[in-house]
Amino acid sequence: MCGIVGYTGPRECVPILLEGLRRLEYRGYDSAGIAVVNGDGLTVLKDAGKIDQLQDLVDKDPPTGHHGIAHTRWATHGEPNQINAHPHTDTRGHFAVVHNGIIENCDSLRETLKAKGYEFVSDTDTEVLAHLIQEYWDGSLEKAVASALRLVTGAYGIAVISDLAPGIIVGARKGSPLLVGVGDGEFFVASDVSAILAHTRHVVYLGDEEMAILSPQGYRTQTLNEIPVNREIQEVTWELDQIEKGGFPHFMLKEIHEQPKAIRNAIRGRLVDDQAEARLGGLNLAGDELRRFDRIILTACGTSWHAAMIGEYMLEEYLRVPVEVEYASEFRYRSPVLDSRSLVIVLSQSGETADTLAAVKEAKRRGARVLGICNVVGSSIARETDGGVYIHAGPEIGVASTKAFTGQVAVLALLTMYLGRWRGLSDEVARELIAGLRAIPEQMERILADGPAIAEIAQLYAKHDNFLYLGRGFNFPVALEGALKLKEISYIHAEGYPAAEMKHGPIALIDENMPVVFLCTRDKAYEKVLSNMAEVRARRGRIIAVATEDDATIASRADHVIRIPHTLDPLVPLLSVVPLQLLAYHIAVARGCHVDQPRNLAKSVTVE
Ligand code: AGP
């Protein structure tokens, strides 16, 4: 949730750290800080608020030095104020620590340290680490950090510096991501590759309970018990312009517009036309194993959970295998019934969501095979699962997920085809799906060209306080997703429902002040959804309908109609969600909201 960046090398570190923080700001943005070592000792500057506030502080009296760490925070323990901002230091001010994650036993550690005379100034769990490192200091920073971490339960990605160990950064991780950036005579530590991509694309991902010791001369990786670990240097394939706005006012709008490309990337090289099947290399499942599964469980959080629901509908329709969808946060604690005949598929854009990662571990513990559908290459979930499929949507910076959602749905369609071939899916149906998927990018481009019309509708409704989103079948998860998008970035209360459920309760809310977004595409449920629309109209609700291009009936039934091209029912979500993303975006902009960094949220939720 928070972001970490550190630098050691020949250059002035402060500009590098601040630039890194700006690239990480989407990860957490309620306070930020920086620690730098130079000949005068350790300097820490930090404040509540965004990076701009930290920049102001730095500009007043810029610290110099070639060795530093920095952090942007999403508060867990303690409110977001100056004192709780990272870095945290020990009582004597020699050790500075930045930390992502949660130290679960911080209360008992704090009491023990207080009894020894350590004074605490913040409400954070992180501060215990700074004091523990002081407690264990005997001339070696790596040993002090390792000793401190051996006492910690919980999750951490940390970076530590000290004026007693010039040039050295010690990084370590368990549960929260951390990587080393390998430059030319300079080294970086970061929670996310985007922080350092401007300087190097060579990275080493640390494993759980591993440490990295960096100096201007090189780096080493080892376990907390000082056993050397040889981790391969990987080359990042992302380009810098992929993590920049590229002329768009917000990352979210850029990423909405990147969806045609994201779908092309997700399906590239994976559709085999002449054999009418999908080719997915990373599943690590043999054909006889695929036939053995008698149940599929999809688990995820938030937007990824909505994609999972669409996956449930697809897989059941084409595979005729029972499929369940579970919130990852519930799955872990619900004692799920799983065995070796269960296939668990987890979905996560970031690959770092703590609840989803915990679900992976729980499913493996109970003997299930676990596949992952992730966007971030090398992420924790990608590494913990038995196999999986990357969606290749490219970096998603906007906190509100857009292109990762449609990428996940496209991959679920591929997976349906892949698994279907082992379970009797006919050539004819597979060919239809292939043709449908291939057409999606161009169809999305046509919807995106309609952006200005959607922006006009958004202007009309930007002052409303409540919205309902209704859809049936494959469009029901899209209704949920549309409502979530609006809530997240505009702070308008919005709910998604299966359209027919409306009359079992939510209909009481309908009056002339309630905008209702109907997903009313020409599919199996079309006529029924028209009836649900009539029920809203009869109560003077305002209707925005997402409908199919050639639908001549709809104009007389709705106040506003947004048209999308025709596609197969299971692929409709790939198109019908796009106008809802744009609607949410333009409403949020009209309300003056901070679209890319909505309040209280962070891009990847690495705490439970
Ligand atoms: C999406 O707009 C949200 N920000 C959020 O619901 C997100 O989808 C959820 O936290 C899961 O994230 P993940 O896909 O990275 O696991």
Residue range 17-41, pLDDT digits in tens: 999 999 888 776 789 999 999 989 9
Using CA positions, which residue lies closest to atom 2 of ligand 1?
A: 400
Confidence band for 318, pLDDT divided at 50, 70 and 90: very high
- Determine the average pLDDT of the residues in 484-489: 97
- Determine the average pLDDT of the residues in 76-85: 83
CB 400 less than 6 A from any atom of ligand 1? yes
**Relative to the CA of 404, which ligand 1 atom is closest?**
14
How far, in Å, is the centroid of ligand 1 from the Cα of 42? 37
CB 303 less than 6 A from any atom of ligand 1? yes
Contact 541, 510 (CB under 8 A): yes
CA-based angle 321:302:576, to the nearest 5?
Answer: 75
Residue of 303, 406, 580 with the most ligand 1 atoms within 8 Å of its CB, for mutation: 303
How far, in Å, is the centroid of ligand 1 from the Cα of 141? 36
- Determine the average pLDDT of the residues in 202-212: 95
Residues in the chain: 608
CB 604 less than 6 A from any atom of ligand 1? yes
CB 265 less than 6 A from any atom of ligand 1? no
Using CA positions, which residue lies closest to atom 6 of ligand 1?
A: 302
- Determine the average pLDDT of the residues in 419-447: 94
Statement: residue 153 has pLDDT above 90: yes
CB 488 less than 6 A from any atom of ligand 1? yes
CB 605 less than 6 A from any atom of ligand 1? yes
pLDDT-above-90 percentage for the chain: 81
374 φ, ψ (degrees, to nearest 5): -130, 160
How far, in Å, is the centroid of ligand 1 from the Cα of 604? 7
Using CA positions, which residue lies closest to atom 7 of ligand 1?
A: 302
R_g of the chain computed on alpha carbons = 25
Using CA positions, which residue lies closest to atom 5 of ligand 1?
A: 302
- For 334, how many CA atoms within 13 A lie in the half-sphere containing its CB? 13
Task: For residue 260, say if its preceding peptide bond is cis, omega within 30 degrees of 0.
Answer: no
- Determine the average pLDDT of the residues in 582-600: 94
Contact 206, 231 (CB under 8 A): yes
E strand or H helix that includes residue 197? none
Mean pLDDT score across all residues of the chain: 93
CB 302 less than 6 A from any atom of ligand 1? yes
CB 350 less than 6 A from any atom of ligand 1? yes
Under DSSP, the state recorded for 175 is B
Pick the residue with more confidence: 484 or 288?
Answer: 484
Identify which of 82, 88, 79 has the alpha carbon closest to the alpha carbon of residue 133: 88
How far, in Å, is the centroid of ligand 1 from the Cα of 572? 21
pLDDT-above-70 percentage for the chain: 100
Alpha-carbon span 347 to 547, nearest angstrom: 28
If one counts every other C-beta atom within 10 angstroms of the C-beta of residue 75, the result is 20
Alpha-carbon span 327 to 558, nearest angstrom: 34
CB 353 less than 6 A from any atom of ligand 1? yes
Alpha-carbon span 521 to 41, nearest angstrom: 65
State which amino acid sits at residue 112: T
Question: Residues 320-378: pLDDT tens digits?
Answer: 999 999 999 998 888 888 888 999 999 999 999 999 999 999 999 999 999 999 999 88
How far, in Å, is the centroid of ligand 1 from the Cα of 474? 20
Instruction: Return the structure tokens found at 215.
Output: 């100096």
Alpha-carbon span 172 to 430, nearest angstrom: 46
Statement: residue 214 has pLDDT above 80: yes
State which amino acid sits at residue 172: A
Distance (Å) of CA 310 to CA 161, 334, 408, 574 = 47, 23, 10, 10
CB 606 less than 6 A from any atom of ligand 1? no
Question: Residues 226-262: pLDDT tens digits?
Answer: 999 999 999 988 787 788 888 899 999 999 999 999 9
E strand or H helix that includes residue 134? helix 127-136
Dihedral of the alpha carbons of 97, 100, 103, 106, in degrees to the nearest 10: 40
CB 304 less than 6 A from any atom of ligand 1? yes
How far, in Å, is the centroid of ligand 1 from the Cα of 399? 8
Instruction: Return the structure tokens found at 494.
Output: 């919005």
DSSP 533-545: HHHHHTTT-EEEE
Instruction: Return the structure tokens found at 291.
Output: 């036939």
How far, in Å, is the centroid of ligand 1 from the Cα of 454? 24
Question: Residues 173-187: pLDDT tens digits?
Answer: 998 889 999 999 999
Question: Residues 490-531: pLDDT tens digits?
Answer: 999 999 999 989 889 888 899 999 999 999 999 988 999 999
Distance (Å) of CA 456 to CA 407, 478, 582 = 27, 22, 11
Annotated catalytic residue: which of 2, 106, 301, 374?
2
Confidence band for 574, pLDDT divided at 50, 70 and 90: very high
**Relative to the CA of 381, which ligand 1 atom is closest?**
16
How far, in Å, is the centroid of ligand 1 from the Cα of 115? 41
How far, in Å, is the centroid of ligand 1 from the Cα of 347? 10
Contact 469, 496 (CB under 8 A): yes
361 is annotated as an active-site residue: no
Q: What is the pLDDT of residue 601?
A: 83
Contact 379, 350 (CB under 8 A): yes
Alpha-carbon span 584 to 574, nearest angstrom: 16
Alpha-carbon span 150 to 153, nearest angstrom: 8
174 is annotated as an active-site residue: no
How far, in Å, is the centroid of ligand 1 from the Cα of 369? 23
Residue of 192, 605, 607 with the most ligand 1 atoms within 8 Å of its CB, for mutation: 605
CB 142 less than 6 A from any atom of ligand 1? no
Using CA positions, which residue lies closest to atom 9 of ligand 1?
A: 302
**Relative to the CA of 301, which ligand 1 atom is closest?**
11
- Determine the average pLDDT of the residues in 460-486: 97
Statement: residue 62 has pLDDT above 80: yes
How far, in Å, is the centroid of ligand 1 from the Cα of 603? 7
Residue of 250, 255, 304, 331 with the most ligand 1 atoms within 8 Å of its CB, for mutation: 304
Alpha-carbon span 211 to 174, nearest angstrom: 9
Statement: residue 418 has pLDDT above 90: yes
Residue corresponding to tokens 């106040």: 559
Question: Residues 380-411: pLDDT tens digits?
Answer: 899 899 999 999 999 999 999 999 999 999 99
- Determine the average pLDDT of the residues in 144-153: 96
Question: Hey, what long-range contacts does 378-382 have (CB within 8 A, 24 or more apart)?
Answer: 378/205, 378/234, 379/177, 379/348, 379/350, 379/351, 379/352, 380/175, 380/177, 380/208, 380/351, 380/352, 381/346, 381/348, 381/351, 381/352, 381/353, 381/356, 381/357, 382/351
Q: What is the pLDDT of residue 408?
A: 98
Residue of 191, 350, 374 with the most ligand 1 atoms within 8 Å of its CB, for mutation: 350
Question: Residues 281-304: pLDDT tens digits?
Answer: 888 888 778 888 999 999 999 999
Task: Classify strands 169-174 and 187-190 as parallel, antiparallel or unpaired.
Answer: unpaired
- Alpha-helical regions (H) of 462-544: 475-490, 526-537
E strand or H helix that includes residue 421? helix 403-421
Annotated catalytic residue: which of 46, 254, 485, 603?
603
Instruction: Return the structure tokens found at 315.
Output: 């897989």
Alpha-carbon span 80 to 122, nearest angstrom: 11
Identify which of 16, 382, 323 has the alpha carbon closest to the alpha carbon of residue 169: 16
